[in-house]
């Protein structure tokens, strides 16, 4: 396998992509780390926008404090995962940030970059939160043209994963 796309975010379920990646039989030549920032948080309105309207929204938000905060968060998350994956030093890692509807952007990037596999985490959202935000990994699985591996957190593991940026804070590894 030459290239895989790993979609990451600040959720606990996303941390499991590291375990899945480290257990691959043969590492790829290149890893694309992708973080997609949602422009309007948990608003359902963004999901109703067409491609042109979404591009207009992105342009209008450019250079605003909201977009700058999204970019800083994305950079923080990507830096964490880059360091974790590069520790092995066996693969080339490239990071990408996109903003919009996460599942759509993940599928687009996989197609644009010629990824042969997508790895994404599973969030344990339920109830109204899942209805409002949807399930990114399931949407990616449905729409991707390449295989999708969904990394799941163990059901009994409620502790925040060490070192993963969660929201606006970073949970440090033990010993720091």
82-99 per-position pLDDT tens digit:
998 886 677 889 999 998
Per the structure block, which two tokens stand in for 53? 């309207």
Per the structure block, which two tokens stand in for 123? 């969030």
Reported confidence tier of residue 7, pLDDT bands at 50, 70, 90: very high
What are 149's strand-pairing partners? 119
51-74 tens-digit pLDDT: 777 777 777 777 788 788 889 999
For all residues of the chain together, what is the average pLDDT? 77
- The superfamily CATH assigns to domain 3-169 is HUPs (3.40.50.620)
Residue 139 CA to chain centroid, in angstroms?
Answer: 13
Q: pTM of the full predicted structure?
A: 0.74
Residue 145 φ/ψ region, left for φ over 0, alpha for ψ in the -120 to 50 degree band, beta for the rest = alpha
Half-sphere exposure of 116 (CA within 13 A, CB side): 8
Residue 121 CA to chain centroid, in angstroms?
Answer: 8
Token pair 């092995």 is found at 88
Q: Is pLDDT above 90 for 118? A: yes
**Terminal CA-CA length for the chain:** 36
What are 41's strand-pairing partners? none
**Is residue 153 a contact partner of residue 122, using CB atoms and an 8 Å limit?**
yes
Token pair 């606006």 is found at 168
Count of C-beta atoms within a 10 Å radius of residue 17: 24
Reported confidence tier of residue 48, pLDDT bands at 50, 70, 90: low
Residue among 155, 100, 144, 137 at smallest CA distance from 8: 137
Instruction: Give CA angle at 54 (53, 60), nearest 5°.
Output: 90
Token pair 């030093």 is found at 89
């Amino acid at each position: 396998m030459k290239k895989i796309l790993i979609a990451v975010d600040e959720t606990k379920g996303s941390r499991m992509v590291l375990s899945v990646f480290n257990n691959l039989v043969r590492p790829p030549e290149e890893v694309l780390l992708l973080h997609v920032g949602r422009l309007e948080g948990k608003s359902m309105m963004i999901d109703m926008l067409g491609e042109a309207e979404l591009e207009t929204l992105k342009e209008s938000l450019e250079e605003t404090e909201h977009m700058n905060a999204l970019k800083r968060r994305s950079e923080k998350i990507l830096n964490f995962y880059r360091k974790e994956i590069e520790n092995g030093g066996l693969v080339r890692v490239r990071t990408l940030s996109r903003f919009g509807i996460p599942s759509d952007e993940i599928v687009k990037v996989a197609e644009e970059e010629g990824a042969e596999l997508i790895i994404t985490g599973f969030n344990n959202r339920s109830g109204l939160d899942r209805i409002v935000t949807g399930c990114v990994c399931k949407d990616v699985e449905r729409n991707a043209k390449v295989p999708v591996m969904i990394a799941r957190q163990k059901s009994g593991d409620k502790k925040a994963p060490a070192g993963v940026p969660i929201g606006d804070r970073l949970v440090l590894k033990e010993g720091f």
